[in-house]
Every structure is written in C-alpha cells, then in structure tokens.
Amino acid sequence: MKATLPTPHLRSFPSPTPLSFKLSFAFPETRRKSLSISSTPKGTPSPSLAYVPLRVSASSQAAAAPTVNLTAIPTEMKAWVYGEYGGVDVLKLDEKVSVPEVKEDEVLIKVAAAALNPVDAKRRQGKFKATDSPLPTVPGYDVAGVVVKVGSQVKELKEGDEVYGNINEKALEGPRQFGSIAQYTAVEEKLLALKPKNLDFAQAAGLPLAIETAYEGLERTGFSSGKSILVLNGSGGVGSLVIQLAKQVFGALKVAATSSTGKLELLKSLGADLAIDYTKENFEDMPEKFDVVFDAIGQCDRAVKAVKEGGSVVALTGAVTPPGFRFVVTSKGEVLKKLNSYLESGKVKPVVDPRGPFPFTQVDEAFSYIETNRATGKVVIHPIP
C-alpha cells in the first residue's frame, strides 16, 4: 500500500524533454553550476523535464537536510520491501517496517536520499540469492543522510553529522537485509564518510558504490600517471567517474570513452580527450590501443581487442574474455574520505540522471528506469520523508 507523502521538492522545468542530463559542478560554496544538454527523440514524453540548449547556468537550490529530532527515533518506519524474488512488481511500500537496531560499531542514519545501482535490480531478481541475506529485503546500497544514533564503539561520527556511503561492505556476500531505500538505515562507521560540504544529499547519494568501483578498478589495473585508458559506457554511473578519476586523481595521459551521439558532449565535459560515438564507430577497429580498457557495459570480447599488449581490461558485467578480469567492489569509507577533497574542489563532479530525482513514492518506477540501461549517471531517490 502506497503512503500519501508531501509533494516532493524538485527542480521545475518549463517544458518536456526525454533525453536530458544535468551535470552538477561542485564548488566549495553552496552554489552549484549545471551544464544541461538535451535532445528530444520522438514519441518519448517526459513532463518533468525541459528542452534546454547547450548552456551553463547557475543554481542555488540544494537538497536540504531532513528535519531530525535526535531524541525521538520511532520504532517503525516507511520502507520499500520485497518478500520474494522477481520483477519490479514484487516491490511494495510498507509503512510499518521496524527501524533497524544499531550494533556497537554502527550508526543509525535518518536517510535523506538514496540511489539505485544495477546490483539492486540483480539482487531483487535473485541472481545471487545463494549468498544474499534472508527475505524480506529492504533494497538499497547507496545512502546520504544524518546520523541520529551511534553505537558504543563508534569513534569519530556523532549525532547530527551529515554522511554518505555504500552500506554493504561486500556487494554480493550477505548484503544487509535492511537497505537504504527507507527512512532509516543502520551502517558500520567504517563504511561512511562525512558528506562533501558543497554537495547536496541527492548528489552525494549517487556517489558511493560507483566511485568506489571506479577507484578500486583503476587501482587493480595499476593505473598511473602517463597511461592511457578507454572507458566503455562513459556516460553511465561508474563510467562517468572512471573518466574523472583517471584524469584528475591518477594523472591519465589520455582518456577515451564511448557513448551514444547525444552524450558525447557530456564525455568531453568530464575530461575525455576522445569521445567515441558507438553508434558510428567500432572502438576495437581503431588503430590506437590503450594501456587500460574499463568495460562498464559488458563488451569484454571487444574490449580485449583495444588494449595494448601487456595492458589490463576490467570487466564489470557480462562474460569475461582473457586477459580481462572482474572484481567485486569492497565498500570503504576511507576511499570516500580520500576522494572528498577532489569532490569539494570541483575536480570530480557527481552526475545525476535528469529523469530524477525520483520521489520516495516512485521507487518502483526508478527500478524500471535503471533496468533500461539508458540512465545517464546515477538514478537517485529524493526526498525521503
């Protein structure tokens, strides 16, 4: 049964556009600048978005912190739940889910925003049920919100801190039964970091799992200053961050990335030296080869043809072709802390899909959208009341 919630506070746009993305440029002050790029295919109405030509605009709006009474934590909360594996239809909004208990090394977060990842859909479909936590499940890995309670062994965080993180240390091995698509979630302190001061909750919520995956993947390849990289699906949640981290954190000599025609400008704005339109070019047929190919779309058989001899190919999904390799990310708050300075300086920017943020009442629609594999950046849920 769906709850009646206050009208969510979303940015308003005067007219529809279906394929539009907003890239948020992070600055130390609270103002944010946005690069909006839009294209409008026929027959795909989207009433919440506007056609905006290529432009740079300033915005002072931000996702406000939730109003929190630190002394009055309820025993029950609203959360999205599924009691069996299956399609989007198994998701239900439940208004009487028990607020999670906090262990000694954990904090309880009043959730302000959450984000979906492909792993959320695969988990709901039962694709790794042998290692999943017991049903029923509250989904969600990514979270941003306010600490409202701390366990006895928590060393740094305190009540009132604004934090963000990926709540599951191992994505596929016993992920939490009570995830982040809820009003409250409990998280180990070591998986969290303070939210970058210049980012709002919606922006921060979209970062943790994707930026940790991008960072760990680059580290595993031994990527370093002076090397070249090709990123497949550079406009996706992970790919958009691989481009930026390779350039800004690891010192890449050259970054190439693939996307559809309408997203090539996004790739360039993120720092790609070469933006490849996969609808017109086969990247594996290009004479230029790369030290690393980061496959974030599932084309490892083609990716291995674009890597230099002795180079590395990371494959996040799909079949793995040697010398490609796959890894499952480990959530670490220390990685987020290390990258916070790059986020706060604006060198690395969150990319939030413009179809959202999806309000809490439309989580099922957000799942349907992420499963189209057409999202730009991250699919975010905000506000969570």
Instruction: Give the model's pLDDT for residue 67.
Output: 63
* Average pLDDT along the chain: 87
Type of residue found at 193: A
Reported as a pLDDT band with limits 50, 70 and 90, residue 64 is low
Domain ranges of the chain: 76-195+352-381, 210-315
The model's pLDDT over 278-333, given as tens digits with 9 standing for 90+, comes to 999 999 999 999 999 999 999 999 999 999 999 999 999 999 999 999 999 999 99
Confidence band, pLDDT 50/70/90 cuts, at residue 16: very low
Q: Residue 345: its pLDDT value, please?
A: 98
Cα 80 to the center of its chain, rounded Å: 19
Per-residue pLDDT at 72: 87
pLDDT of residue 69: 65
Over residues 72-90, mean pLDDT: 97
Q: With 90 as the cut, is the pLDDT of residue 18 above it?
A: no
pLDDT band (50, 70, 90) for residue 139:
very high
Q: What's the token pair of residue 172?
A: 């596929």
In the DSSP assignment, the letter for residue 330 is: B
Q: Do domains 76-195+352-381 and 210-315 have the same CATH topology?
A: no
Nearest Cα to Cα of residue 146 among 176, 109, 179, 183:
109
How large is the average pLDDT for residues 172-196? 97
**Taking residues 76-105, what's their average pLDDT?**
98
| 318 or 24: which leads in pLDDT | 318
Q: Which long-range contacts (CB under 8 A, 24 or more apart) does 312-319 make?
A: 312/220, 312/221, 312/222, 312/223, 314/217, 314/220, 314/221, 316/213, 316/217, 316/238, 317/118
Q: Between residues 15 and 159, which one has the greater pLDDT?
A: 159
Q: Residue 178: pLDDT above 60?
A: yes
Bigger pLDDT: 208 vs 65: 208
Q: At residue 172, does pLDDT exceed 70?
A: yes
User: Domain 210-315 in CATH: superfamily?
Assistant: NAD(P)-binding Rossmann-like Domain (3.40.50.720)
Nearest Cα to 255, choosing from 278, 227, 285, 218?
Answer: 227
Highest mean pLDDT among 8-22, 38-52, 293-307: 293-307
In CATH terms, the superfamily for domain 76-195+352-381 is: Medium-chain alcohol dehydrogenases, catalytic domain (3.90.180.10)
In tens, the pLDDT along 334-366 reads 999 999 999 999 999 999 999 999 999 999 999
pLDDT band for 94, please (50, 70, 90 cuts).
very high
Q: Is beta strand 106-116 parallel, antiparallel or unpaired with respect to 184-188?
A: antiparallel
pLDDT at 232: 98
